[in-house]
Amino acid sequence: MVILSLDTTTRGGSVAVTRNELLLALVPGDAARSHVERLPGEIETALALAGLERRDIDLLAVATGPGAFTGLRIGLAAMQGLAMTLNRPVIGISALDALAEEAAGGPATLVAPWMDAQRGDVFATLLDLATGRTLESPLAAPPADVLDAWRAHLDGHAAVFIGDAAERDAALIAHAGAGQWTMRTPPPLAPALARLGGRRAARGAAGLPHQLTPIYVRRPDVEIERERRERR
């Protein structure tokens, strides 16, 4: 199965092409340019590096969030358009799940996907790698508040914090974890999206483009501002 996968949840993002979980091409995004400027070119570059054309794609996989509202919508629209044009199934994958996939196989028993939510906040969730259970549902909040709320799960356990906010919050995490917790900056997420997308598609989870649902966790700023104005 040939999968084209796309992540636009971070400023850089990435595009990948895989065949049966073998990575054929990976194009990390240029964070200095907007997704709308560079996305069509990056998709074509990834296909060219893989030696494939659009018609060779069997499945499309895209990160559905959380992330910046504009980048997220651009990524979803691009993959919905390709799915309709090529008549191919598409599957949405949480970026938090992709981060957890990248952390699997290490010594830690718990993984905390830890994404920069801007305004000093973090998008985060907490998973038990041994059981696959979600211990804490995705949320957007100040990092210190999240760590305090998760104490019952985290204290006394090895944990890995992975995501683009792990480096930003490294000092806070190291102090709170007293040396038991580690931080990881993840590689581009598109390959992990392809792996998860292929496995879930094999279980029947892929579908039509209109079925893609963004994961915002926090409401878009425009809605918050409109509500604030209405309360005046």
CATH 1.20.140.10 fits 96-184, yes or no: no
Tell me the backbone φ, ψ of residue 196, rounded to 5 degrees.
-65, -40
Query: Mean pLDDT, consecutive 10-residue segments, the chain of 232 residues?
Result: 97 96 96 93 98 98 95 96 98 98 90 96 96 96 98 95 96 94 96 98 97 87 58 66
Residue found by looking up tokens 């895989």 in the block: 18
pLDDT in tens, 81-96: 999 999 999 999 999 9
Note the pLDDT of residue 218: 81
- Where exactly does CATH 3.30.420.40 map onto the chain? 2-95+188-220, 96-184
Q: Which residues pair with 6 in a beta bridge?
A: 15, 62
The pTM (predicted TM-score) of the whole model is 0.93
pLDDT in tens, 174-185: 999 998 999 999
d(CA 9, CA 35): 10
Q: Six-digit token pair at 179?
A: 């040396």
What CATH class does 2-95+188-220 carry?
alpha beta
